Amino acid sequence: MYLHGAHVTSWRPADHDEVLFLSTKSRWQEGHAIRGGVPICFPWFRAKADDPQAPAHGFVRTRMWQLESIVESDAGVVVTMFTESDEQSRRWWPAQFRLAHRATFGSELRLELVCSNTGTTPLRFEEALHTYNRVADVANLHLQGLDGTRFRDNTDSNNEKRQLHDIVIASQMDNAFLDTQSAVDIVDPELRRRIRLQKSNSLTTVVWNPWREGSARMQDLGDGEWRQFLCVEASNIMESAVTLEPGEKHTMTALLSVTKL
């Protein structure tokens, strides 16, 4: 886990291989997000609606966070980092806030994103834990838990559609599944494992892979590496954006676990 973006880049529980994908071409530079692991999207998702010059997915994933604590618990090692509003953040977003990321590394990976409104006016934000799950081949797996769910297809002008059956990936996918609170499983027959995402205080689940065409435009992704990951993201975006009154706090939690098939 790095101070740069409070970014988790690796989780390898006992008796399992690495669960998170990390690009071999990732730019380890100030001003650039790490490609892979779990980037934090906040306070907007994708492009900022009223400012095309603003950084995509918000500004916290490229900020230097501060370390609050590292402690041991029954669940594992708990690392907490935080960032707060300042002159730099107000350039893009006027709100006063404190954002903490608490990651528990153990037999499960628990990620908690905690936003506090430290100002005197309401604030509204989008958020996502943009998890890159490592897979053997994104074209040879299926995703369970979203059958029957409505979604917005960002590859088709965000038109609303409905998922039928398990998800299989056969082309570029950028879907935001709506009103989702249930667990989602990546079933990977080649790696003989199941990665499960459980979440709380999250009403949207984003599923993303750029496929061959999208990855060709990404300089921080190696040749063919698009096959090695599938992003399944606990999030609150679009109409599920969160509004906090002054003094209020919101915690979104993503819990990752892995089992053998």
The span from the CA of 207 to the CA of 174, in Å, is: 6
Q: Which of 130, 190, 245, 250 is catalytic?
A: 130
130 is catalytic: yes
Spatial CB neighbours of 212, under 8 Å, sequence gap ≥ 6: 226
Spatial CB neighbours of 141, under 8 Å, sequence gap ≥ 6: 135, 168, 169, 186, 187, 188, 189, 190, 230
**Phi and psi at residue 110, in whole multiples of 5°?**
-105, 125
Distances in Å between the Cα of 76 and the Cα atoms of 22, 117, 205 are 22, 29, 26
233 is catalytic: yes
Q: Which of 233, 239, 245, 248 is catalytic?
A: 233
Would you please indicate which residues are annotated as catalytic (active-site) residues? 130, 233
